[in-house]
């Protein structure tokens, strides 16, 4: 039951749900998440820490930046089920669609990622 409560807390914030939906498309550098959500780096960092502690996201470091992806097979069955439910239920939400469009704009070739690379597909 404790796991469900932690997962519910992690998904109880709109910004964190938006991040989950963004990461459904693959791994993203923190700088991209900051640009799309239009939040301060410290705020995004705090949100990502909550999602990581709940087991919903994983990260790798590249220099001073973190690159985040949704947890995959290494996450709990409950976490995988909740991630799937969020994606299915909210994937076409107007805010999610708008965020994906904004992500495409900030990923334009002329806008280099501060994290030193382009977006990568998430590993299963």
Q: How many helices (H) and strands (E) does the chain have?
A: 6, 3
Predicted TM-score (pTM) of the model is 0.86
Task: Please write the tens of the pLDDT for every residue from 40-75.
Answer: 999 999 999 999 999 999 999 988 889 999 998 888
Residue 101 sits at the vertex; the CA angle it makes with 98 and 104, to the nearest 5 degrees, is: 150
Taking CB atoms within 8 Å and a gap of at least 24, the contacts of 95-98 are 95/14, 95/18, 96/18, 96/21
Q: State whether residue 33 is helix, strand or coil.
A: helix
Q: Phi and psi for 120 in degrees, rounded to 5?
A: -120, 150
Domain annotation for the chain: domains and CATH numbers: 2-103 (1.10.10.10)
Token match 């087991």: residue? 55
Task: Please write the tens of the pLDDT for every residue from 26-49.
Answer: 999 999 999 999 999 999 999 999
Distance CA 75, CA 78 (A): 8
Distance CA 106, CA 32 (A): 7
């Amino acid at each position: 039951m404790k796991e469900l409560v932690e997962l519910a807390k992690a998904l109880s914030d709109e910004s964190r749900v938006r991040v989950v939906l963004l990461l459904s498309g693959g791994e993203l550098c923190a700088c991209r998440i900051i640009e799309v959500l239009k939040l301060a780096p410290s705020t995004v960092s705090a949100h990502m820490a909550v999602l990581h502690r709940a087991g919903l996201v994983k990260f790798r470091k590249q220099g001073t930046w973190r690159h985040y992806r949704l947890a995959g097979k290494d996450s709990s069955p409950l976490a995988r089920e909740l991630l799937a439910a969020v994606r299915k239920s909210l994937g076409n939400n107007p805010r999610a669609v708008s965020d994906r469009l904004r992500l495409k704009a900030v990923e334009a070739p002329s806008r280099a990622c501060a994290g030193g690379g382009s977006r990568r597909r998430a590993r299963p």
